[in-house]
Amino acid sequence: MQYLEFKISCKEPYREIMVAELAEIGFDSFLETDEGIDAYIQEDQLVRASYQEIIDRYQESASLKVREGKMAKVNWNEEWEKHYDPITVGDRVYVRASFHQARPEFKYEILINPKMSFGTGHHATTYLMISHQLNLDHQGKRVLDIGAGTGILAIMAQKLGAKEIEAFDIDEWCVENGDENFDLNGMSHVRMGKGTVREVNPKGEFDIVLANINKNVLLDEMEVYSALVKKGGHLLLSGFYVHDIADILKKANAYGMELVDEKSKDNWAALVMKKP
Ligand SMILES: C[S@@+](CC[C@H](N)C(=O)[O-])C[C@H]1O[C@@H](n2cnc3c(N)ncnc32)[C@H](O)[C@@H]1O
């Protein structure tokens, strides 16, 4: 598999925005660097015009400088070991890779070997989703994780006592990586599905539905998510900016969901909706 590497130097606060925009067009791995980000995409996945459009849009405001290179083979584990530090969410959750030291003083330890999937807790949206999950009763509940990435939110649900968990993602790498992470966290009974919510078509209703994806997908699939939430159950949404809250809320309200909590970090937002 031939990969392209783009070494992008950019000013803050544009690093996160660049990651989000490039992820939208198929970039599947990012490393934070002192100058900005290194972004990776499979060569046959790159649509030059879409890429150029993003670069042109932020060129000036973010003072972008890009160096492009080709990589025949990437040792992602080695890359991650160099760049991936453990993180904490509040004082109860510790997210680490298997090569990091355990920290038993944390109540919930999540093991994630991320490879190329999004979702280590480093991104604000993952962090916000976990923070919301910590405030929700998961005990004995049925939980659905849509756009599960590394599987981190499904794993958090399991640690919080969920009884039945389903998770899926459209990305083949996430499916492989998710299963590995489920195994690492003693969840071999859960397997990551592949596809969109319409393709996977989960059966029945769920107490908690988690969807950290992006604005367009959330708007497009909101009707399906809402239908999957039990009466009295919750829908947690993230993957959009604070300035998009009104659009997301309007759509969720239109399908009968009511806002019960809202958090933001680094300009990203996460909402907790409830079906009355
Ligand atoms: C922002 S990441 C979130 C990953 C993880 N849930 C977390 O919170 O860290 C979004 C994930 O959604 C996946 N995705 C994008 N569009 C999707 C869709 N329509 N259905 C399911 N997954 C999708 C991407 O492949 C990516 O892994």
Name the closest-CA residue to atom 14, ligand 1: 147
Answer whether 148's CB lies under 8 Å from 192's CB: yes
Name the closest-CA residue to atom 9, ligand 1: 119
CA nearest to 180, candidates 93, 97, 71? 97
- Condensed to tens digits (0 to 9), the pLDDT of residues 111-151 reads 998 765 566 777 899 999 999 999 999 999 999 999 999 99
For the chain, the first-to-last Cα distance in angstroms comes to 48
143: its two tokens: 């939980």
Compute the distance from residue 25 Cα to the ligand 1 centre, in Å. Answer: 13
Q: Is the CB of 146 under 6 A from ligand 1?
A: yes
Name the closest-CA residue to atom 27, ligand 1: 149
Mean pLDDT is lowest, of 58-62, 114-118, 156-160, 257-261, for: 114-118
Instruction: Provide CB contacts within 8 A for 137, sequence distance 6+.
Output: none
Tell me what pLDDT residue 98 has: 85
* Alpha-carbon Rg for the chain in angstroms: 18
- Condensed to tens digits (0 to 9), the pLDDT of residues 204-252 reads 999 999 999 999 999 999 999 999 999 999 999 999 999 999 999 999 9
Q: Is the CB of 148 under 6 A from ligand 1?
A: yes
- Condensed to tens digits (0 to 9), the pLDDT of residues 162-220 reads 999 999 999 888 898 899 999 999 999 999 999 999 999 999 999 999 999 999 999 99
Domains of the chain in start order, with CATH, are: 3-74 (3.30.70), 118-274 (3.40.50.150)
Name the closest-CA residue to atom 10, ligand 1: 213
Instruction: Provide CB contacts within 8 A for 144, sequence distance 6+.
Output: 165, 166, 167, 202, 206, 208, 209, 210, 228
Cβ-count burial 144-167 (b if 16+ within 10 Å, e if not): bbbbbbbbbbbbbbbbbebebbbb
Give the C-alpha separation, 245 to 79, whole Å.
Answer: 35
Mean pLDDT rounded to a whole number for the chain: 91
Q: For residue 123, which atom of ligand 1 is closest to its CA?
A: 9
- Condensed to tens digits (0 to 9), the pLDDT of residues 34-79 reads 899 989 888 888 999 999 999 999 999 999 999 998 876 566 556 6
Q: Which residues are annotated as a binding site for S-adenosyl-L-methionine?
A: 126, 147, 169, 212
Give the C-alpha separation, 47 to 214, whole Å.
Answer: 20
Q: For residue 119, which atom of ligand 1 is closest to its CA?
A: 9
Answer whether 274's CB lies under 8 Å from 261's CB: no
Compute the distance from residue 20 Cα to the ligand 1 centre, in Å. Answer: 11
Name the closest-CA residue to atom 11, ligand 1: 147
Instruction: Provide CB contacts within 8 A for 152, sequence distance 6+.
Output: 95, 110, 112, 119, 120, 121, 126, 130, 181
Is residue 7 scored above 70 in pLDDT?
Answer: yes
Distances (CA, A) of 120 to 112, 149, 244, 254: 7, 9, 23, 32
* ipTM of model: 0.99
Q: Which of 29, 89, 118, 198 to mutate to test the pocket of ligand 1 (most atoms within 8 A of CB)?
A: 118
Q: Is the CB of 121 under 6 A from ligand 1?
A: no
Percent of the residues in the chain that have a pLDDT greater than 70, as a whole number: 93
